[in-house]
A and B are shown apart, each in its own frame.
Chain A
Amino acid sequence: MLTKRQNLMEVIKGGNPDRFVNQYEFMDLIMEAPMDLPLAPAPGTRVKNKWGITFDWPADQIGSFPMHDEEHKALKDITDWKNQVKAPSVFYTDEEWAAAEAHAKSVDRNEKFVTAFCAPGIFEMTHHLMSMEDALMALYEEPEAMKELIGYVVDYELAYAKEVVKHIHPDALFHHDDWGSQISSFISPEMFDEFIVPAYKKVYGFWKANGIELIIHHSDSYAANLVPFMIEMGIDIWQGVMTTNNVPELIKKYGEKITFMGDIDSGRVDFPGWTREKIYADTKKACEECGKLYFIPCLSQGLNISSFPGVYEATSDVIDQLSREMF
């Protein structure tokens, strides 16, 4: 029996996996690494992060949101971004790194990838700072200022990446950046190529030049029109790919260059009245249509969790069952 890591490599290289890769099983995510997460920590909390972005998680909601009313918007005028945006330090004490280093050392790298986690993404950072509407309009109205801001975020991420590499020597990176709604990309492929692709070529190029073998990018959205750019950036696995992308078609077209991880939409199966039968139906359809190579069945959720207790575990159990039925 192949290890989880070996089985993953067989899937993405078009070899001979002996079962489905089961969701996030091949990643050992080092979430203890000190970082500035883009969220409030729990229902009923509100925090301002080190970039000055306020995140609010109302008690009755399933997640937190950046706040963009006039009082809370961190960047009010893109042309003045140099005065209004200040990146936090990427340096943390040895004590702050200790838990992450211990976790990374404990991982059997023959079994799993030691995986660094990065969020928010570069595009997300622009709209967290200034709101989605302002950020998207600025791409047209103040393109040079937007390129400068994106460059500043890239420099921050490169500096942070250097620290992560130094402390935990990851061999995989799990990186968030949502690039679309469920039915379309937020921006056109041309605009994506102009603003976002150069940024990620730098960032992912750096990670790959520093020991990262595998880049897994999360965007739980439609982004089928951006797949050629994902390949160009160096993404090995697109996690979060939703059914609206026609994943079987993408696998046929691009499978040898990029692997697709998802095709089980969390929105369809992860809700208070969830059932194993519904998860089984959606997962079976995904596995049958997408096949055994260049595909990893997974909830579209951007971490190895679910919004409602038991859904992630039930999905893993279903995938194990389908491996027994189909391999």
Chain B
Amino acid sequence: MILTRSDLMALLPLITLAASAVMVMLAAAFYRRPQPVAALTLLGLIISCAALPLAAGFGPRQVTPLLIVDNYALFYMGLIFAATLVVTVLCYRYFGGGGSRHEALYILLLLAALGGAVLVASSHFASFLLGLELLSVSLFALIAYPRNIGHPLEAGIKYLVLAGFSSAFLLFGMALIYAQLGTMQFAQIGAMLAAPGQRLDAYGLAGLALILVGVGFKLALVPFHMWTPDVYEGAPAPVSAFIATVSKGAVLAMLLRYFAVAGAYPLQSITLALSMIAAVTIMVGNLLALRQDNIKRILAYSSIAQLGYLLVGFLAFGTMAVEAVAYYLAAYFVTMLGAFGVVTVLSRGVPERDSDTLADYAGLFWRRPWLAGVFTAMLLSLAGIPLTMGFIGKFYVLAAAVGASLWLLVIVLAVGSAIGLYYYLRIIATMCTHDPKATAGPVATLAGSVSLAESVTLAALILLLIGLGVYPALLIQVLETTVAQLA
């Protein structure tokens, strides 16, 4: 296999990201100060982002049997890089700023991002597993990074065990499909199944089902969701943001590519199972969130429900479905990063735990109006209220699903969102209370000091949230180019 110059150019974003991971590692080894390391990480991510349009000029291109670089992959890479950028900014002050030693964190973040980027570009089971493992292994370490405290360690181990299980399921599933068809390339699988008379036998179907189980763990679909609230609660807030966005987004994008390219959509039993999973996920996620008193747990259940909504769009199948999933994911990224961003910013200064109980947020509107405003906007976006990206995203998903006549799922989605309103409003109402007693809470003691970088990041997120919520045509134009090579 000879890589030509165009191949290398198409892979440029991945190469720069990998190179910056190495650079950051070297820098951290010789110069143990977080400040330059964090700066180098940001620089690496920005360069990788800048490489995306360059790579787009050389795509769509199949580079080795493992990776395909098309607009679809590049779009998701952009999302992943941008999300990692935000998480990096959030991590810096959260983990103690210039005075502490947390350089290794940035290496892990870059590697996890690289894993996600490989996932969205993968066109082969091998690269699928490679990307997924790169992502998961970095995540164990990221979750348990504050290793002197109990909760993150517990969460890290929980995630380790379940990720191990899910990888085992995935591998076994891949093996079963390979056993029937003798190929691991998505496109070839699709071509073989498209041939008349050829269909997956029982083993192959079982394989696909096992793959879905493995992916279901990663996406935290019900009934594979048990780990999510504990891990979100235990992990440091910026890392929770990373799990909620990059890890789930990359896996879902990969799954969508697999379904479209490898011809899994026409399989009735599989789509039926997925529809049921989607319906259950929406209902369970929303219902379990109702009685939670911990913001991170509420966000965890909310993210479960959001993945259910995404799955509805996913099942609609067709160009509009691909766009809907992409738009919803973009909205979900912005929203989750913003929400966890606020939690992160408020959490600094409480060393033993994040400030994540509902009581910590009582009266936030009057003490930190700007942060509370950002948080409110993010919650309203999760609830799908106009002027935010979340509304357009939900509309897009509903439109795709109605277009495909998925009536049952559409109704479940509507009912689920109506239930969901309650817990979002509960947080907002808590922030609105003007109770003088609440001002003595731990959050109140850290008056002020949001770093400039964090302010800029949150401001950028909210501008995106409202800008694309009011004028979504900008993003939709980009999305329309990504669909062409997939559907």
Q: Is the pairing of A and B real? A: no
